[in-house]
Amino acid sequence: MTSHVVIEADGGSRGNPGPAGYGAVVKDRDGQVLAERKESLGIVTNNVAEYNGLIAGLAAAAELGASTVDVRMDSKLVVEQMSGRWKIKHPDMQPLAERAKELAAGFGRVRYEWIPRAQNSHADRLANEAMDAATGKPAAGRPGKAAKTGTAAEGTAALPKLPTRKPDRSTVAWTGAKGTPTRLLLLRHGQTEMSALRRYSGRGDVPLTELGRTQAAAAAKRLAAMDGLVDGVDGGVVPIIASPLTRTKQTAQAVADALGGRVETHPGLIETDFGEWEGLTFAEAADRDPDLHRSWLGDSSVPPPGGESFDVVHRRVRKARDELIAEHGGRTLVLVSHVTPIKTLLRMGLDAGPQLLFRLHLDLAALSIVEFYPDGNASVRLVNDTSHLA
C-alpha cells in the first residue's frame, strides 16, 4: 500500500463535442507508475472528458489504499472548481464535480494543482490513445500496461454532453460546414500616442490615450449588448483573451468590466516586432532603409531590421488560434489584439494569401468576427466595424 500518491489526469474531445477520451496515471512520490487508466467516452466535450479523467484517477488511488493525494491537471477549470475557488454553475457539470468530491472525501487530504500541458504528457498520451480508439484509429498502448476499455468509466454512468452554441444555419447551408464553430470576436485596441502619430507600434508598451479609453468603453458597451457572451461555462462569461501589452489589456479590461468577466492573456496575440523601425513613421522607415522597406512591403518572409517577418507572425498566430480552439472549441471568444494578428486571423478565415495584410484596413477599436469550424471550414462574418464609435 502506498499512502501518498500523485494523480495526473487529462481528457480531450476532437470537435468539442466530438469523439472523446480521458487518461489518468497514478504515481508514487518518486514518480514510479502505480496505475494507468484510459477510456473512450463517445461524443462528449473537453470538460466532461477532463472530469472523467479526474474521477478515474481518484478511483484508482482509492484502490491502491492511498490516504494523501496530489492531483495535477492542465485543466484550469477543473482545478479551480475542485479547489472551491470557482463556482460550478453549469447543471451538467455539477454531478461530475459531486462524484469527484465523493471520491476525494475518502482520502485524508487531496490537493489540486494546475500544471502546464507540457508537464502532463503522460496523461495526455493516454487520453489521446483513448480518443484514437473513439475515432477508430489503432491505439498505441504501452506494453505491459492494462488499459480499461468501454464506453464509460467504471463505476460511473455515461455522462451528458454540455450544450454548445448552435451554428448559424445560414452559413452551414451555403458552405456545407459541419459542427459547432469557435467564434472569435476580434477587437483592436483603442488609440495610443503612437497610433495617433501613425508610428510603427509593435512591442513598445504604450498605454491608451484618453480617446483610446473612450473607444474601449464604447466597444465594451457594444459587446455587452450582443447575444451569446454569457454562456454558463467558467463562471458564466465567455473567455476574454488579450495580447500581454498594456494597450490591449486596458481595452480588454473595459470589456471584462462591461460583461462581468475577467481578462486572460496569450503571448501569441502580441503585435509584430518591428525591430529598429519601432516608433518610426512609414516615411521615416522608408527613408532609413529604402531597399529593405520596399522588399518588406512585397515579401512576407522579409523581417524589419532586428524584427519579425509577417510569415513568422502568421505561424505564431496560427499556433495561438489552434491552442485557443483546443481549449475552448465550440465557444465564443473575445480576442483583444493588434492590427497584424487580427488581419492574420481574418486571412486564415478567408484562406487568403499574405497580400491581404497590405490591402485590408483596420481602424482603432474596430470589431471583426470570424468562425472556425471543426471540419476545417471557416466563415468571416464581420470586418472592421466601428459603428459603436459613431
CB 6 within 8 A of CB 27: yes
CB 356 within 8 A of CB 309: no
Query: How many angstroms separate the CA atoms of 268 and 132, rounded?
Result: 29
Active site includes 271?
A: yes
Query: How many angstroms separate the CA atoms of 221 and 256, rounded?
Result: 10
Query: How many angstroms separate the CA atoms of 355 and 326, rounded?
Result: 28
CA distances from 371 to 7, 16, 75, 157, 283 (A): 36, 15, 24, 34, 36
Kindly name the residue from 271, 308, 327, 371 that is annotated as catalytic: 271
Kindly name the residue from 90, 122, 189, 293 that is annotated as catalytic: 189
Query: How many angstroms separate the CA atoms of 14 and 12, rounded?
Result: 7
CA distances from 48 to 149, 218, 254, 296 (A): 17, 37, 32, 47
CB 45 within 8 A of CB 164: yes
The DSSP secondary structure of 61-74, one letter per residue, reads HHHTT-SEEEEEES
Taking the chain, what is the end-to-end CA distance rounded to the nearest angstrom?
69
Q: Is 170 exposed, middle or buried (0-12, 13-18, 19+ CB in 10 A)?
A: exposed
Q: Are strands 33-44 and 68-73 parallel, antiparallel or unpaired?
A: unpaired
CB 193 within 8 A of CB 246: no
Query: How many angstroms separate the CA atoms of 106 and 84, rounded?
Result: 18
Q: Is 277 exposed, middle or buried (0-12, 13-18, 19+ CB in 10 A)?
A: buried
Active site includes 266?
A: no
CB 129 within 8 A of CB 21: yes
CB 292 within 8 A of CB 301: no
Q: Cβ contacts of residue 222 below 8 Å, gap of 6+?
A: 367, 387, 388
The DSSP secondary structure of 358-372, one letter per residue, reads HH----TT-EEEEEE
Catalytic residues: 189, 271
